[in-house]
Structure 1
Amino acid sequence: MSLDSSKNEELLNLVENSGANHVREMATYFNAELDESNDASTITMDNNIAKGFISSYRIFNGLSVWVYNIKFHSDFKVNLGLSESRPYYFSYTVKGRFLHRFGDREKFADILQNQNMIVRGSPESSVQILFPAGVDLKIAVIILDLNLLENLEIRNTKKIAAKIHEVFDKNPSEKNYRYLGGIDVQTKKFASVVCQNNDHDIVGALLTKGAVFNMLASQIQSFSENSSSEKSPLSKAELSKITSLANYATNNYETSLTLRTLSRHFGMSPKKLQAGVKYLYGESVGHYILGLRMGHAIHLFNTTDLNVAEVCARVGIANGGYFSKVFKKRYGKLPSHYKG
């Protein structure tokens, strides 16, 4: 991508180009701090445009990654002119939502939290992306240029290119293509690492690289299995809303987290909430919340000096005997093993 815009325009225009140093140009446009160390380019902002960072790095020629961990203060639109190379974009929204469309006449598609999107555009077209104001965004994007991958003498690149051809060649090659997947909580664990890992040592780099490959594999698998998978009883928007359950519960352990109170919070019937959690996580709301409580409990035992009674209170379980019974069943040891 290379920059083609003036600061007075509301629309930021980019041109698809794998060889351009687009992050450096974006830093100038945004008046943002630029860090080009550790084989990555990162712009950090805390100004009237946005707060957060956008990062880009290359795994190898033909496979690059973009990370958006940012909140824009007003609606921000990007227009991307597409090129003859026609790379694939595999995006996953860990947090927040954004809008996507081809050209400037098509209706925007709403890309939801915990949703996969796969895009390949026509060189005669363009893409518009709208980042809504006030939304905390965590988005990981893997960009695959098959023309570059196929020319590398690296075994993994050949395998990746072959798999992409195998899965996607049935789609019309000359047209714009966009796949909006279902709400996918499996890919989230890999995409979250891609979005969050800022460690620049060798271990951090290896963890991030592994997460990128796992994220890509998970998205391809999700796409391949989509046609034969169980149909959801809820809409994508409803499922996306339910993926915030863990975050809501974590911040409200000391309040009543019953099915009825949770259904009121998420604006859906208890039956629908129960069905959605079962579809996404394979268990009932009660068991899912209990698992979150137990996970937080062992985290507190490992990271704080809180005793058993204090941990019980923090995770919202009043009965110490019940807590010990469930904890031992899950982890094989009594809480007293960690704290007397």
Structure 2
Amino acid sequence: MKTITLKTAKIHQVLEQLQTTFAGKLTTDAKEHILEIDNPIGKGIIKGISFKGGISYMEFDMEFTEDIAMVASSPDHTPICFAYCSQGHFMHSFGTNGEKHELENFQTGIITSKKSQDNLLYFEKDMRLKMILILVSPTSRSANGNHLSEELQKLFFKNDKAQNFAYVGSYNLKVAERVRQLNSIDETGIARRLMVEGLVHLILALEIQQHSDDLKKTDLQESSLTKNEMEVVRELSLFVNNYPEKQLSVTYLCKKGGLSPSKLQEGFKLMHGTTVTDYIRDVRVQLAENLIKTTDMNISEVVYSIGFISRSYFSKIFKAKYNCSPKEYKDKQRNFAISA
């Protein structure tokens, strides 16, 4: 097993240390640090970015060729770490002899530790790992403008002091959907940074809510779906996004994924908070809005290209979502282009 020791909590320095260990190409775009690795040690990408309010974000999409143990020692101000694994799994322990906690795909986790405590993350060789870490650095109560950090300290610190604490939560498909949205951001520069920051805050909120719901043991978190079935739901969601023009239905998706209608609906409700039919409709409407804005297609061409068969029905749901008709929206886009 290869052991890596990280001697800093600052994201840009962490990425620099990882580059020293793994080699690879390290670049920066709008303060987001990106390490691309493709060598005998492993292949993939590690990203990191810091935001205001003491929040940092790291993303791993890696496959290592040998077992890895990553050691990070808690600084004077112990961060609260929110983790999520969307593919593969990893383990954590406090110190080399501490009990190991495993985080599987679709599971949330929260970790914090006492001062000067070594935290170890274990990554298995020959396994595709996709995980994110959101670090919230605590501040003194007198610090201005960091109410989030203060509230998290109340939740996870005892008497304002961090203790060794590791929580592995229930399976959460809503976070998986937000991670997918993060990975699908095509923008660069400041636009990408703002989009990433918004989604990171949303993921953080979902993880905190997950912890709260697990403590209350609410019925909302009880699911009859297995991990494999949840993976099927995620893949079917991607299929809808990639092929919205197909005549999709609950029956078609059940047959494609090998799920019963009840399990399919339960999975979409967990992941998207809506029914299968409503999800398909929303994906189509969003695609239509983009086509109206970015192409010369007329409204009828847009309607039929995304799988709708009724223009009047499409106009109705488009207006309900965007508060204007498709024609009004296209006219506004045309007028804007002329004035520009």
Tell me which interval the TM-score lies in, with the shorter structure as reference length. Answer: 0.7 to 0.9
SS in 2 for 1:142: strand
Structure 2 counterpart SS, 1:56: strand
1:302 to 270, 286, 293: 293
What are the superposed Cα offsets for residues 59-93 of structure 1, whole Å, 9 maximum, x if unpaired?
Answer: 3695433233x343757633325446543211245
Within the candidate set 51, 56, 64, 2:48 is matched to 56
**Unaligned 5+ residue runs, structure 2?**
332-340
- 1:65-80 correspondence runs (5 A): 65-68=57-60, 70-72=61-63, 74=65, 77-80=68-71
Of residues 256, 265, 290 in structure 2, which corresponds to 1:265?
256
Residues 81-114 of structure 1 deviation map (CA, whole Å, 9 limit, x = unaligned): 5446543211245x5343223258866624324x
Whether 1:281 aligns to 2:272 is yes
2:277 is paired with a residue whose SS is: helix
Q: Deviations over 1:242-266 (max 9, x none)?
A: 2443311122234342212212333
2:101 matched to 1:111? no
Q: 1:277 to 1:210 in 2, by over 3 A?
A: closer
Segments of 5+ residues of structure 1 without an aligned counterpart are: 1-9
Question: Tell me, what secondary structure is at the counterpart of 1:65?
Answer: strand
How far has the Cα of 1:166 moved from its partner?
Answer: 1.5
State the 1:164 CA deviation: 1.9
8 Å CA contact retained: 1:191, 1:212: no
- The change in CA–CA distance for 1:326 and 1:205 in structure 2 (over 3 A counts) is closer
Return the alpha-carbon distance in structure 1 between the equivalents of residues 222 and 249 of structure 2.
23
RMSD: 4.0
C-alpha distance 53-262 of structure 1, shift in aligned 2 (>3 A): same
Equivalent residue in structure 2 for 1:183, among 169, 172, 195: 172
Task: Measure how far apart 1:178 and its partner are.
Answer: 2.5
How many equivalent residue pairs? 322
* Greater Cα offset, 209-218 or 308-317: 209-218
Whichever residue aligns with residue 64 of structure 1, its letter is S
Counterpart contact for 2:82–2:108, Cα < 8 Å? yes
Name 2:335's counterpart in structure 1: none
Greater CA drift, 283-292 or 222-231: 222-231
What pairs with 1:1-340 in structure 2 (closer than 5 Å)? 10-15=1-6, 17-18=8-9, 21-35=13-27, 39-47=31-39, 49-50=41-42, 52-59=44-51, 63-68=55-60, 70-72=61-63, 74=65, 77-83=68-74, 85=76, 86-93=78-85, 95-102=86-93, 109-113=102-106, 115-121=107-113, 126-130=119-123, 133=126, 135=128, 137=130, 139-146=131-138, 149-150=139-140, 154-157=143-146, 159-169=147-157, 174-183=163-172, 185=174, 189=178, 192-193=181-182, 196=185, 199-201=188-190, 205-206=193-194, 208-228=196-216, 229=218, 230-235=220-225, 237=227, 238-239=229-230, 241-337=232-328
Q: Is the 8 A contact 2:32 2:48 kept in 1?
A: yes
User: Runs ≥4 in structure 1, deviation > 6 angstroms?
Assistant: none
Residue aligned with 1:156, SS? coil
Provide the C-alpha distance between the structure 1 equivalents of 2:223 and 2:180, rounded to a whole number of angstroms. Answer: 25
Query: For 1:42, what is the secondary structure of its paired residue?
Result: strand
SS in structure 1 at match of 2:244 = coil
The TM-score, its normalising length taken from structure 2, stands at 0.74
SS of the residue 2:120 aligns to: strand
1:3 matched residue in structure 2: none
CA contact (8 A) 2:103 2:168 kept: no
Amino acid at match of 1:247: L
Alpha-carbon offset, residue 11 of structure 1: 2.4
Residue pair 2:173, 2:230 contacting (<8 A) in 1 also: no
**SS of the counterpart of 1:163?**
helix
Identity %: 21
